[in-house]
């Protein structure tokens, strides 16, 4: 009897320890395997368990589960076709049925990749026609993780049909449909995208950790996480809802508040690497042909950094997969208010330039140009059909070698300035240059050696050249095309109607007017810092300002005076300036410059011994022993008269505004006021904003006196900011 009981216990123990072989979540019925390759299969089983994987086309591979229960093997896949069955056999047997062999593409990015077929133009007819049994769809569930994961939850492979395509990525679907129709092979599409996300969340921390800007960004997230509480989050959410209700009753000129719960910062979809960890790493090394990417909106405030971030992400993913797969992306379309000036250097043109440079400089990449499909009031244009079609054209040409069609819109390759003209040569994308819709070319601008920028004439010469000129610019230094957030009306294309990419060539002429305007007052001063506010740059997570000239190591105090000089040239060519000298308010040279977190500058105080020289309208020149004050701080601020400046108002941004008590990197202000005269003398706010920053001399003519939230730099053609000291 004891022997029988012992035998039963042994059987129970063995049975309890037995672990059925299982596959990673990416493997299921209806899947597509990448054709004619060694595709990796992996999963989990009992340590030491023998696993065999067999394809009904005749291929077999075997593996043994490691001590941690993981196993991995490579299975040779057949030519395009199917359906096939894949059998996985260990202590148990799994059958994957209705498997196809074809081309597998990963679709990733933010909301414009995530936007579904159900939200596009003609959605119902598209859904009704979407019966493609050889297109298969898989979606990765939205989730985050602070460490790289080996597994993810998915909505398993589905046969593309009217009952499921409405919930799938539209850009991905239309891309896959284009490939399927032209290549006549099965297509597998994996959607791993999340709206409102930044590129650093899709990139592994391992490849970002040495970047000072990413270190600072991650640190700011970590600091927020330390103070986060659900109660405070809910309280702010309720306050934002009340603010939105008030906004709805008001004039709606300001930006609408966005009530939403922020959630635990460490779990955020924008915390660096969180989406890579949870939604990309678990896909490695599932065999794919390539990837398509539609993102950039979330990084539009940091457009100059995006070129490097793109390459970092591409190399990161390719390294993990182990091969240099094609990587194609969507250049952001037009969006926001239509342009009013020949050039409007917002965040989106710089992002587009980063895309264009990536396509030109990073091997095996390509760009779908979509400058003609955007919507002024909707960041999510509904025309995803053209997005998918243009991505498909790039892939068909560059990856699959198909010819005889226009595969891209024109991309400027080179520019020569000669005889008062800019001569630009294009890669025209497979069809001669043309004016879309006929008529004259529109969207070109020239900047002369005097710094003035004007609309310019342009004509097509031959199949691949455009010549740009203007009688107002006898010596052009810079040429721009479609350089604005929303350059409506641009019409350079090729003969198949694909639009040209925005571009710029040349160097902006130096704007150096200080010595010309103020020789007597200037000769005794030494230059401490110099910068172009229109190209202002914050680094290290927005905590450090980068100057064109920094002499802080050579110049040490004490100083008799510190002076600030701001000169602005408007788009008509008129130059206004203000030179303001004062008694030093700090002995620290770092704190005399543009106030940033790294320098520790944070001043809201009166200053003495002020001398003002200016030709700006509304600025009183002269000597002011008292009655002036400075607002130098890197943080956000409110309109309340926290400094109790006589004549300042609580409801208007003017002379005594309230600094954010929490400090830290925020909007930022560098303002000098003559409060006795109720004047702002000079203003530079939002230091890293480039042509969206606030720049002004005298009082703003709007509702603010100090130019806050005016983005007035858009009206300035050139600018110069100097910080000087008198030893």
Distance, C-alpha 55 to centroid of its chain = 43
Distance, C-alpha 708 to centroid of its chain = 24
CATH code, 426: 2.60.40
CATH code, 284: 3.40.50.1110
**CA torsion through residues 649, 651, 653, 659, sign:** positive
pLDDT at 172: 98
Which helix (H) or strand (E) element contains residue 355?
helix 347-361
Tally Cβ neighbours within 10 Å of residue 226. Answer: 8
**DSSP codes of every residue in 113-156:** HH-BGGGSTTHHHHHHT--EEEEEEEEEPP---SS--S---EEE
- Nearest of 491, 404, 396 to residue 442 by alpha carbon: 491
Residue with tokens 């543009």: 594
Q: Say if residue 570 is in the same domain as residue 645.
A: yes
- Nearest of 354, 195, 355 to residue 275 by alpha carbon: 195
Q: Which domain holds residue 371?
A: 101-222+273-402
CA atoms within 13 A on the CB side of 596: 21
93-109/290-294 β-pairing: parallel
pLDDT at 715: 87
Please indicate, yes or no, if residue 448 is contained in any of the structural domains: yes
pLDDT at 350: 93
Q: Say if residue 364 is in the same domain as residue 433.
A: no
Which residues are paired to 227 by β-bridges? none
User: Rounded distance, CA 353 to CA 484, Å?
Assistant: 11
Q: Say if residue 315 is in the same domain as residue 392.
A: yes
User: Rounded distance, CA 620 to CA 490, Å?
Assistant: 44
Q: Say if residue 488 is in the same domain as residue 565.
A: no
Residue where a domain terminates, one of 363, 380, 402: 402
Q: What are the CA-CA distances from residue 646 to residues 333, 482, 552, 643 (Å)? A: 48, 47, 35, 9
pLDDT in tens, 692-701: 899 999 999 8
Asked if residues 445 and 483 have their Cβ atoms less than 8 Å apart, the reply is: yes
Asked if residues 704 and 713 have their Cβ atoms less than 8 Å apart, the reply is: no
pLDDT at 216: 85
Please indicate, yes or no, if residue 138 is contained in any of the structural domains: yes
What lies within 8 Å, CB to CB, of 32 at 6+ separation is 99, 100, 101, 102, 103, 104, 136, 157, 186, 187, 188
Q: Say if residue 560 is in the same domain as residue 624.
A: yes
* 3-class SS letters over 547-616: CCEECCCCCCCCCCEEEEEEEEEECCCCEEEEEEEECCCCCCHHHHCCCCCCCCCCEEEEECCEEEEECC
Q: Say if residue 451 is in the same domain as residue 581.
A: no
Q: Say if residue 435 is in the same domain as residue 532.
A: no
Asked if residues 45 and 22 have their Cβ atoms less than 8 Å apart, the reply is: yes
The two structure tokens encoding residue 384: 């995803």
User: Rounded distance, CA 467 to CA 475, Å?
Assistant: 14
Q: Say if residue 436 is in the same domain as residue 544.
A: no
Number of domains the chain is built from: 3
Please indicate, yes or no, if residue 235 is contained in any of the structural domains: no
**CA torsion through residues 376, 377, 383, 384, sign:** positive
Q: Say if residue 687 is in the same domain as residue 575.
A: yes
pLDDT at 15: 38
Please indicate, yes or no, if residue 246 is contained in any of the structural domains: no
- Biggest CA–CA distance in the chain, Å, is 113
Q: Say if residue 545 is in the same domain as residue 630.
A: yes
Q: Which residues of the chain register pLDDT less than 50?
A: 1-17
Please indicate, yes or no, if residue 175 is contained in any of the structural domains: yes
Q: Say if residue 475 is in the same domain as residue 526.
A: no
User: Rounded distance, CA 276 to CA 268, Å?
Assistant: 12
Residue where a domain terminates, one of 402, 425, 450: 402
Residue where a domain terminates, one of 480, 506, 532: 506
Which residues are paired to 567 by β-bridges? 577, 720
Please list, residue by residue across 299-321, b when 16 or more beta carbons sit within 10 angstroms of its beta carbon and e when fewer do: bbbbbbbbbebbbbbbebbbebb
- Nearest of 131, 181, 185 to residue 159 by alpha carbon: 131
Please indicate, yes or no, if residue 390 is contained in any of the structural domains: yes
pLDDT at 253: 57
The conformation of residue 510, written as its DSSP 8-state character, comes to: P
User: Rounded distance, CA 547 to CA 601, Å?
Assistant: 16
The conformation of residue 375, written as its DSSP 8-state character, comes to: B
Asked if residues 669 and 631 have their Cβ atoms less than 8 Å apart, the reply is: yes
pLDDT at 18: 57
pLDDT at 614: 95
Please indicate, yes or no, if residue 327 is contained in any of the structural domains: yes
User: Rounded distance, CA 479 to CA 26, Å?
Assistant: 49
The two structure tokens encoding residue 477: 């230094």
540 burial (CB, 10 Å; 0-12 / 13-18 / 19+) is buried
Please indicate, yes or no, if residue 463 is contained in any of the structural domains: yes
Asked if residues 500 and 481 have their Cβ atoms less than 8 Å apart, the reply is: yes
Q: Say if residue 490 is in the same domain as residue 538.
A: no
Which residues are paired to 537 by β-bridges? 546
pLDDT at 322: 98
pTM summary value: 0.87
674 burial (CB, 10 Å; 0-12 / 13-18 / 19+) is buried
């Amino acid at each position: 009897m004891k022997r029988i009981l012992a035998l039963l216990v042994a059987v129970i123990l063995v049975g309890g320890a037995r672990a059925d072989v299982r596959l990673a979540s990416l493997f299921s019925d209806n899947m597509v395997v990448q054709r004619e390759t060694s595709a990796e299969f992996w999963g989990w089983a009992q340590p030491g368990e023998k696993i065999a994987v067999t394809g009904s086309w005749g291929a077999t591979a075997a593996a043994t589960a490691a001590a941690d229960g993981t196993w991995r093997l490579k299975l040779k896949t057949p030519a395009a076709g199917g359906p096939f069955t894949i059998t996985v056999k260990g202590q148990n047997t799994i059958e994957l049925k209705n498997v196809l062999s074809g081309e597998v593409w990963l679709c990733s990015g933010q909301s414009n990749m995530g936007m579904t077929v159900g939200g596009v133009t003609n959605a119902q007819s598209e859904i009704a026609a979407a019966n493609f049994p050889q297109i298969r769809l898989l979606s990765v569930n939205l989730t985050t993780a602070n460490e790289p994961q080996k597994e993810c939850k998915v909505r398993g492979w589905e046969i593309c049909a009217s009952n499921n395509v409405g919930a799938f990525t539209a850009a991905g679907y239309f891309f896959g449909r284009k490939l399927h129709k032209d290549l006549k092979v099965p297509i597998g599409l994996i959607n791993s995208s999340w709206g409102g996300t930044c590129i650093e969340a899709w990139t592994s921390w391992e490849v970002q950790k040495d970047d000072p800007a990413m270190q600072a960004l991650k640190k700011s997230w970590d600091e927020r996480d330390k103070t986060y509480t659900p109660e405070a989050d809910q309280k702010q959410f309720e306050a934002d809802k009340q603010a939105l209700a008030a906004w709805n009753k008001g004039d709606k000129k300001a930006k609408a508040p966005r009530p939403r719960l922020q959630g635990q910062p460490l779990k955020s979809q924008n915390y660096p690497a969180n989406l890579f960890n949870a939604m990309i790493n678990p896909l490695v090394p599932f065999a794919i042909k390539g990837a398509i990417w539609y993102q950039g909106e979330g990084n539009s405030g940091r457009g100059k950094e995006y070129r490097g971030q793109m390459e970092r992400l591409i190399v990161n993913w390719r390294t993990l997969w182990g091969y240099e797969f094609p990587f194609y992306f969507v250049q952001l379309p037009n969006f926001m208010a239509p342009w009013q000036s020949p050039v409007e250097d917002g965040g989106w043109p710089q992002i587009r330039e980063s895309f264009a440079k990536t396509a030109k400089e990073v091997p095996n990449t390509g760009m779908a140009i979509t400058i003609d499909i955007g919507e002024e009031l909707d960041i999510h244009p509904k025309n995803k059909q053209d997005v998918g079609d243009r991505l498909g054209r790039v892939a068909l040409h560059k990856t699959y070698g198909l010819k005889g069609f226009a595969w891209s819109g024109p991309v400027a390759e080179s520019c020569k300035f000669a005889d008062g003209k800019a001569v630009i040569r294009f890669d025209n994308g497979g069809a001669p240059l043309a004016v879309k819709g006929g008529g004259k070319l529109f969207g070109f601008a020239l900047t002369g050696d005097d710094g003035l920028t004007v609309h310019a004439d342009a004509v097509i010469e031959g199949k691949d050249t455009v010549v740009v000129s203007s009688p107002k610019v006898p010596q052009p230094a810079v040429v721009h095309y479609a350089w604005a957030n929303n350059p409506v009306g641009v019409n350079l294309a090729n003969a198949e109607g694909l639009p040209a990419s925005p571009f710029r060539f040349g160097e902006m002429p130096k704007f150096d007017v200080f010595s010309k305007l103020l020789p007597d007052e200037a000769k005794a001063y030494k230059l401490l810092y110099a910068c172009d506010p229109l190209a202002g740059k914050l680094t290290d997570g927005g905590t450090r300002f980068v100057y064109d000239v920094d002499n802080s190591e050579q110049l040490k105090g004490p100083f008799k005076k510190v002076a600030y000089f701001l000169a602005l040239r408007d788009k008509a060519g008129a130059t206004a300036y203000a030179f303001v000298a004062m008694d030093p308010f700090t002995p620290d040279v770092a704190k005399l410059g543009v106030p940033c977190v790294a320098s520790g500058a944070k001043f809201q105080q009166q200053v003495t011994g002020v001398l003002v020289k200016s030709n700006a309208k509304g600025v009183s020149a002269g000597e002011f022993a008292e009655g002036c004050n400075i607002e130098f701080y890197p943080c956000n601020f409110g309109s309340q008269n926290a400094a109790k400046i006589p004549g300042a108002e609580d409801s208007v941004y003017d002379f005594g505004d309230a600094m954010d008590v929490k400090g830290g990197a925020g909007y930022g202000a560098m303002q000098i006021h003559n409060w006795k005269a109720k004047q702002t003398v000079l203003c530079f706010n939002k230091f890293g904003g480039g042509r969206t920053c606030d720049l002004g001399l005298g009082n703003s003519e709007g509702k603010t006196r100090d130019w806050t939230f005016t983005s007035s730099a858009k009206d300035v053609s050139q600018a110069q900011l100097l910080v000087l000291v008198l030893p």
